[in-house]
């Protein structure tokens, strides 16, 4: 089944913006781009008429511009099912402003400047339904992305030990056989998965970033380290790689390839929300955000939730509160955090410096270094609930 070409209308007072979009999408024969040099309000209702001829309307807007906001309302009211409205906004707008646009009925809020790969990815999602229908059965591996609410809060600790526990802890497998679990350190510049597991230098991601090649199954199999319990690990490079040197299509290929051969792929995310994070966001089956309940962390958590769910509405987000034992009674601060995050605080990992440093000193997961510690046990509970949560969401419709 071949999808009909998608027709995209760009409305921007800035010719450079439409040109950038035209050249980002120009190479795709499945996409036809036309442009109007105007603000949305300046279109004086013509946008509504033109909307019926296009699948996607991209319009540049300043959320503080009242007339534009009214024009958005008119557009939303006249929109037919299947038309997608995308607001192109200054990358520095506040979360409240982005949310106001969503609440007004805008489907996507995309920050400028437009980064080619990220942008192409977003647009390509619009034709995904038809592409999926004709494709072979969807790959089954579950992608669990782990993010942090602040540096040092414990996201790598969670990613490493969750992956290890999803394998089933230690000694469940014969040495050197692969398990169904992969761990990828996408914290390209500051990744520490390699040192948590005492791995030698592994510069696969750097090589990809430099070569710009699309990795295939053989390449990944040869590049990933297999731990004694079978966990496959792709560590971050030991040498410096510019953050924007990876491309979205490379990241997408890594995930899609590993999904075919693994049941779970745990991803340690970079702190920066770089363009190539988009394919991870789109494919994630669950997002885990590791946080503490300081005001700053909770705020950042909220931003992460909004960022991730904007592109993946059905994405389950689990909050892991680190450095705190599950309280018998939640304090007003806990309740306030849960309210801001619109989620229950379901997972708690106790502050356990002894276990954490035993693991760090030995370069081993908690299941070896401190299996009976309170942190080790809490990690195995987290893996069990993650597993059962993902199993019950197996019937989730395709994203
Ligand atoms: N629950 C915990 N109790 C004590 N120390 C912890 C705990 N979780 C993480 N740590 C320690 O905190 C430090 C930072 O953790 P890490 O996972 O690297 O954070 P991040 O990846 O979020 O930057 C590490 O030394 C780790 O061992
Ligand atoms: Mg980390």
151 Cα to the center of ligand 1, angstroms: 9
| Span from the CA of 322 to the centroid of ligand 1 (angstroms) | 9
The rounded distance, in Å, linking the Cα atoms of 179 and 322 is 27
Instruction: Please report the pLDDT score of residue 372 as a whole number.
Output: 96
DSSP-assigned states of every residue in 60-77? E--TT-HHHHHHHHHHHH
Q: What is the reported pLDDT for 136? A: 45
* CA Rg value for the chain: 22
- What is the reported pLDDT for 55? 85
Q: Does ligand 1 come within 6 angstroms of the Cβ of 278?
A: no
Q: Rounded to an integer, what distance in angstroms lies between the CA atom of residue 288 and that of residue 365?
A: 19
Closest ligand 1 atom to the C-alpha of 375?
A: 1
Q: How far is the CA of 4 from the centre of ligand 2 (A)?
A: 43
Sorted by sequence, the CB contacts under 8 Å of residue 332 that are 6+ apart come out as none
Instruction: Compute, in angstroms, the gap from residue 389 CA to the centroid of ligand 2.
Output: 24
Q: Going from the N-terminus, what domains does the chain have, and what CATH number goes with each?
A: 6-134 (3.40.50.2300), 142-392 (3.40.50.300)
pLDDT value of residue 174 = 55
Residue 153 CB–ligand 1 contact under 6 Å: yes
C-beta 36 within 6 A of ligand 1: no
* Separation of CA 147 and ligand 1 centre (Å): 13
Across the strands, what pairs with 148? Answer: 290
Name the residue among 386, 299, 379 with its Cα closest to residue 336: 299
Q: Which ligand 1 atom sits nearest the alpha carbon of residue 150?
A: 22
Q: Is the CB of 353 under 6 A from ligand 1?
A: yes
* pLDDT by position in tens, the chain (length 399): 445 677 889 999 998 888 888 888 777 777 888 899 999 888 887 888 888 888 889 999 987 888 888 888 888 888 777 788 888 988 888 777 887 888 888 888 888 877 667 777 777 766 554 333 334 455 579 999 999 999 999 999 999 999 999 998 665 555 555 669 999 999 999 999 999 999 988 899 999 988 889 999 999 999 999 999 999 999 999 888 888 889 999 999 999 999 999 999 999 999 888 889 999 999 999 999 999 999 999 999 999 999 999 878 888 999 999 999 999 999 999 999 999 999 999 899 999 999 999 999 999 999 999 999 999 999 999 999 999 988 865 443 443
pLDDT of residue 126: 63
Q: Does the predicted TM-score (pTM) go above 0.85?
A: no
Report the separation in Å between the CA atom of 191 and the middle of ligand 2, taken as the mean of its atom positions: 6
- Ligand 2 centroid distance, CA of 49 (Å): 50
Q: Which atom of ligand 1 is nearest to the CA of 323?
A: 1
- Which phi and psi (to 5°) does residue 156 adopt? -70, -40
Choose the residue to mutate in 326, 356, 364, 381 for probing ligand 1, maximizing ligand atoms within 8 Å of C-beta: 356
Contact of 346 with 334, CB cutoff 8 Å: no
Strand partners, 320: 290, 347
Q: What is the pLDDT of residue 177?
A: 58
Q: Which residue out of 145, 154, 364 has the highest number of ligand 1 atoms within 8 Å of its CB and is therefore the one to mutate?
A: 154
The ligand with the least distance to the CA atom of 191 is 2
* Residues 176, 308 contacting (CB under 8 angstroms): no
Ordered DSSP codes for 113-136: SPPHHHHHHHHHHTTHHHHHHHSS
């Amino acid at each position: 089944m071949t999808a009909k070409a998608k027709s995209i209308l760009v409305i921007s007072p800035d010719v450079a913006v439409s040109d950038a979009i035209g050249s980002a999408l120009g190479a795709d024969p499945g996409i036809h781009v036309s442009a109007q040099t105007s603000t949305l309000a300046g279109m004086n209702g013509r946008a509504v008429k033109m909307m019926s001829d296009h699948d996607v309307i991209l319009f540049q807007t300043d959320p503080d511009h009242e007339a534009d906001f009214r024009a958005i309302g008119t557009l939303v009211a006249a929109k037919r099912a299947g038309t997608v409205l995308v607001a192109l906004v200054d990358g520095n707008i506040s979360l409240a402003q982005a949310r106001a646009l969503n609440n007004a009925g805008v489907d996507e809020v995309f920050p400028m400047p437009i980064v080619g790969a990220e942008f192409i990815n977003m647009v390509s999602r619009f034709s995904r339904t038809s592409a999926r229908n004709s494709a072979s059965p969807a790959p089954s591996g579950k992608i669990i992305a782990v993010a942090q609410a602040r540096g040092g809060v414990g996201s790598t600790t969670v990613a490493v030990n969750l992956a290890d526990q999803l394998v089933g802890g230690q000694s469940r497998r014969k040495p050197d056989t692969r398990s169904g679990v992969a761990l990828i350190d996408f914290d390209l510049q500051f990744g520490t998965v390699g040192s948590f597991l005492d791995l030698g230098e592994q510069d696969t991601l750097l090589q990809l970033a430099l070569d710009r090649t699309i990795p295939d199954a053989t390449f990944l199999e040869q590049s990933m380290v297999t731990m004694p319990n079978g966990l496959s690990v792709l560590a971050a490079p030991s040498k410096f790689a510019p953050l924007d040197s990876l491309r979205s299509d490379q990241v997408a290929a890594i995930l899609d390839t590993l999904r075919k051969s693994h049941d779970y792929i745990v991803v340690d995310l970079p702190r920066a929300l770089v363009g190539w994070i988009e394919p991870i966001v789109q494919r994630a089956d669950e997002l885990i955000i590791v946080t503490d309940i300081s005001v700053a962390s909770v705020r950042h958590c909220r931003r992460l939730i909004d960022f991730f769910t904007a592109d993946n509405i059905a994405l389950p987000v689990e909050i892991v509160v680190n450095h705190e034992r599950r309280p018998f009674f939640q304090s007003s601060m806990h309740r306030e955090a849960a309210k801001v995050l619109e989620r229950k605080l379901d997972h708690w990992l106790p502050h356990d410096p002894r276990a954490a440093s035993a693991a760090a000193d030995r370069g081993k997961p908690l299941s070896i270094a401190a299996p009976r510690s309170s942190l080790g046990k809490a990690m195995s509970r987290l893996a069990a609930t993650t597993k059962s949560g993902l199993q019950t969401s197996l019937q989730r419709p395709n994203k």
